[in-house]
Amino acid sequence: MLKHGILGLLNYGDATGYDIMLAFRKSLSHFWVAQTSQIYRELQVLEDNGWIKKTLVEQDGRPDKNVLSITDDGKSELIRWLREDEVTKTVRSPMLMKTFFRGECSIDENIEFFKRIAECINVFPDGEGEAFDAKDQYEKMIDNPERALFWKFTIDFGIMYEKMLLEWSNKCIQQLEGMKDEQQKDRT
C-alpha cells in the first residue's frame, strides 16, 4: 500500500526520499502516517521491481541526493492498483478495542476516556487545521484540478469523520452520565 502511495507521488513528478517523507507529513498524514525508515526501504523495493529509477545529483552546499523518477512499468503498476477492486477489509481500530473492554473501569474513568478522545479532535478545527499546512502541495495541484479534487475528497472525509467521532463520544458520555445519576438516586 505504501509502495503505491510513493508511486503515486512520483507520478506527480521526480522527488527525493526526503521530498516523499515531507509529502506524507504535509499532505497525506490525515490518512497515512509513514516512517522515514520505511519509505527508504520501500524505495529500494520499488527500484528492485523496476518501477522507479534513481539518479544521483551532486549538490554543493547541500548533501548529494538521489532523485527518483517513475518508470513506464511503474506507471502501469500505479494504474493497475488504482483500477483493481479489492474489497479492502482491513478493519482494525485500537480505539474501539479499548472501548470494548472498558467495562472493567469505573464510570468516572470512562467519562474521562471519552473526553480525551474528544479532545484529540483538532486536526481540522473548523475546516482549517493541520492538514491544511499543505499549501505548497496545493499550489502544485492547482494546475491539475482533478488532483486537487481528490485531495479535497480526503480532507472532506477527515472533517466528516472527526465530526462523527465527536458526536459519538458525546453520546457515550451522556449515557455514562445518565448511569451515574441513577446510581446516586439509588443511594438516597
**Alpha-carbon distance 20 to 34, whole Å?**
10
- Lookup result for grid cell 479535497: 152
Q: Which is nearer to a second copy, 50 or 157 (CB)?
A: 157
Residue 126 φ/ψ region, left for φ over 0, alpha for ψ in the -120 to 50 degree band, beta for the rest: left
Q: Is 158 in the site for DNA (CB under 7 A)?
A: no
Q: How far is the CB of 150 from a second copy (least distance, A)?
A: 5
Number of Cα atoms under 13 Å in the Cβ half of residue 89: 2
Q: Is 34 in the site for DNA (CB under 7 A)?
A: yes
Residues in contact with a second copy by the rule CB under 8 A? 1, 4-5, 8, 11, 28-33, 78-79, 81-83, 85, 87-105, 109, 116, 120, 144, 146-147, 149-151, 153-154, 156-157, 160-161, 164, 167-168, 171-172, 175, 179
Using DSSP, state whether 68 is helix, strand or coil. strand
Q: Is 93 in the site for DNA (CB under 7 A)?
A: no
**Alpha-carbon distance 40 to 134, whole Å?**
22
Question: What residues line the site for DNA (CB under 7 A)?
Answer: 1-3, 16-19, 21-22, 33-38, 40-41, 43-45, 59, 61-66, 90, 92
